[in-house]
Amino acid sequence: MSEKVKVKITRNVSVLPAIALRGLVVFPNNIVHFEVGRAKSIAAIEAAMHANSSVFLVAQKEMDVEEPTMLDLYGYGVIAEIKQVLRVSDDLVKVLVEGKTRARLLELNDGDFLQASVRPVPVRGIGADKRTQTEALVRSLKDCFEEYLSYSPQISKDIIYNIVSSDSPLFLSEYMPANLLLKYEDKQTILNESSLLSRLEKLLMLLRQECQVLEIERDLDDKVNASLDKGQREYYLREQMHIISEELGDSEDTRAEADTYRQKIAALKLDDESTEKLLKECDRLARMQSNSAESGVIRSYLDTCLGLPWHITTEDDLDQAHARRVLDREHYGLQKVKERILELLAVRKLNTEVKGQIVCLVGPPGVGKTSIAHSIADCMGRKFARMSLGGVHDEAEIRGHRRTYIGAMPGRIISAINSAKSSNPVILLDEIDKLAGDYKGDPSSALLEVLDPEQNRTFKDNYLDIPFDLSEVLFITTANDASTIPGPLYDRMDVIELPSYTRTEKFNIAKRHLLPKQLKNNGLDGKVTMTSGAIYEIIDGYTREAGVRNLERTITSVLRKCAQKIAAGETEKISVSGTMVKSLLGPEKVKPTFISRTDSVGIANGLAWTSVGGEMLPVEVAVIPNGTGKIEITGSLGDVMKESAQLAVTYARVHAEEYGIAPDRFKNTDLHIHAPEGAVPKDGPSAGVTLTTALVSALSGIPVRHDLAMTGEITLHGNVLPIGGLKEKSMAAFREGISTVLIPKENATDLYEVDAEVKEKIHFIPVERLSQVLKHALIMPGHAAARSAHAMPQATNLIAGEKPVAKDPATVM
């Protein structure tokens, strides 16, 4: 650039070409050389050379900024004189400058090059009262510099001499930061200081910090060097041992071991890819020292692979009579479940090519899901292995860890195969609905390959890294709530539902299985007997559950108290009766469920489905006179259930005249709708008919039958829609002694799945309109004796072949 630039000086303010420096801070009275590559910076040098060779040098805050502005530059820089310029190429210039004066940046103008308005700002001197403090700082600086030299001996002798021989505070405050290896931000901090005393204090602090960092670095270097020296020493010693072993003829240890592994691999007769991979590991082992850590890892890997039952299988026993005897011996009831298992065995007997199936047993806790899986293995004569999936959140638990990790091991699937010592065992995946996922992966997704017969033929564990055939394995999974199982995983399984036990079934299970087992466990065989009344007393008064787990615990508690009396010598034999149970266990723990037990106004008995079985869900409605038409809904109801309550209110207003409800009753009264057990969240649409019945009863004053329960979703125009979980809901009604249950007409086919004992005791009435529900549920004046229990023939075998309706969302969570 040939344009001449005139330096303007106004009131001690100079306008000079400016150069933004990257990672470099120039101090006054110091000569510095640097390279310039940006076009504007080269233009600024040329402009300065055409003027008086003065240029303003200022450091930029961020080194990666290509077009710096005023905000990108520090506030203080140096006015320097250009001593020499050497053009290396068209886009690179080497410059030698000498710092003259510290200056403050006032304004920056951008054009072909940067022009800065600057004002010289010399460092303030030291007063007479500060001379002693200044002398102390200079001495401390020199002492600290000597310590710095012990960590950085590469500093040139000229720099050392200039610092040691000088006692000028100003000289040291500019020369030391300019020539020592400090960060440019720290150098700029010193340049920004306008007071010589504060500059010396800042420089001393930075120098001490740098000494501390250098000391830590030196300690780390010493440790690393010592470690390297130790490693080299061990390497030389191992090499010497290797040579000595060869001289003594002892070097064949790992080679002989590798040959033994090769023979075992050849005997397995695996596929070519797997055989080749295992043989490569043998070759690696042969080249290693027997005491090296890596050789131990290879040995563990080869032992794991060779220890798997690659071609070891058990022959299936598919005899139907034998399977039925085993199932009947170990389980009472569960007829539909047993039939489903026998069907599975029959298909395998007729088609030996059928591959491993995946069965999912779904039911409340304590109904025997795990023991059913044991029984299936016993029926078929297969090995059995169980793995719990509850709380598993790491994908590596299923697929295993890669061998690059320290302490790697196979996943649970391969470990179960290894423990079963068979390639076609029965593997129980317990609590599959309680899988968890996090940042480590989703184990339910890893199970997709395991539980897919089309994919698990070549299942590859991360640790093995060779395929293993899982297609002959019979996988059985268990779950309490099938709705929490991911859809793609649920789709791969054949679901068998285990219902809740009836009172009679619990009695027989306790008498045939639980009591003999606990008599033996407690050493009371022949010493304690328990009457039927005692067992029924425990079932009715001390346990309330879908399964029999608490029943077994309570029986054990009774037997322990009997054992205490016998051990104390009070008696030799005990016969436990129903009355004695109360004296041993105290007052009954099962309190009556809150339901309407008398014909009442504004209370209707509903039915709910939960993940642990069915429950009664009473609904109460209170009409508050002198109100304003406000509707209050309580009882921890979910959004869907609140919407059902709004539908019930609308239906009652539309049909108010049919039930003798005054039209202005909705305006002059408040309604309060409540579902008891307010601490338990409730949701789902199946309480619609119960809400409507209770509401119409409260508004009309007509009582509701107490021996009748109902379930069903409603529409705005009074239709009753189908619901899910009818089997569990009917069991709840049976448990509470309900004689009549109203169900949606489209659910009549689901009665095929209801237990025979339940259908014998309960009259099911299918309905399709709310008017029919109210006709059966409300005791109209003059018709109290005409109960609707005989208004319709028993509907237990309607259209038995239709597919049951799917479950709706859980009514009680």
- Annotated catalytic residues are 686, 729
How many beta carbons lie within 10 A of that of residue 268, not counting itself? 14
Task: List the Cα angle 733/370/593 in 5-degree steps.
Answer: 20
* Mutual angle of helices 532-542 and 578-585, in 10-degree steps: 40
Query: What tokens appear for 243 in the block?
Result: 């040579």
**How are beta strands 31-36 and 13-21 bridged, if at all?**
unpaired
In angstroms, how far is CA 377 from the centroid of its own chain? Answer: 32
CB neighbour list of residue 271: distance below 8 Å, 6 or more residues apart: 467
Bridge partners of residue 86, in order along the sequence: 94
Measured CA to CA, the distance from residue 600 to residue 697 in angstroms comes to 9
Burial class of residue 254 in the structure, from the number of CB atoms within 10 Å of its CB (0-12 exposed, 13-18 middle, 19+ buried): buried
Look at the block and give the residue holding tokens 């690659």. 310
Q: Can you tell me whether residue 408 is helix, strand or coil?
A: coil
Look at the block and give the residue holding tokens 């990672």. 23
In angstroms, how far is CA 137 from the centroid of its own chain? Answer: 59
Measured CA to CA, the distance from residue 405 to residue 408 in angstroms comes to 5
* Whole-number Cα distances in Å, 45 to 40, 52, 198, 605, 613: 9, 11, 34, 95, 88
- Nearest Cα to Cα of residue 58 among 191, 172, 199, 193: 191
How many beta carbons lie within 10 A of that of residue 654, not counting itself? 12
Decide if 672 contacts 715 (C-beta within 8 A): no
Which contiguous run of DSSP H or E holds residue 497? strand 494-497
CB neighbour list of residue 581: distance below 8 Å, 6 or more residues apart: 534, 537, 538, 541, 542, 558
Look at the block and give the residue holding tokens 């200039």. 162
Phi/psi for 713 (5° steps) reads -90, 150
Decide if 686 contacts 722 (C-beta within 8 A): no
Which contiguous run of DSSP H or E holds residue 284? helix 272-286
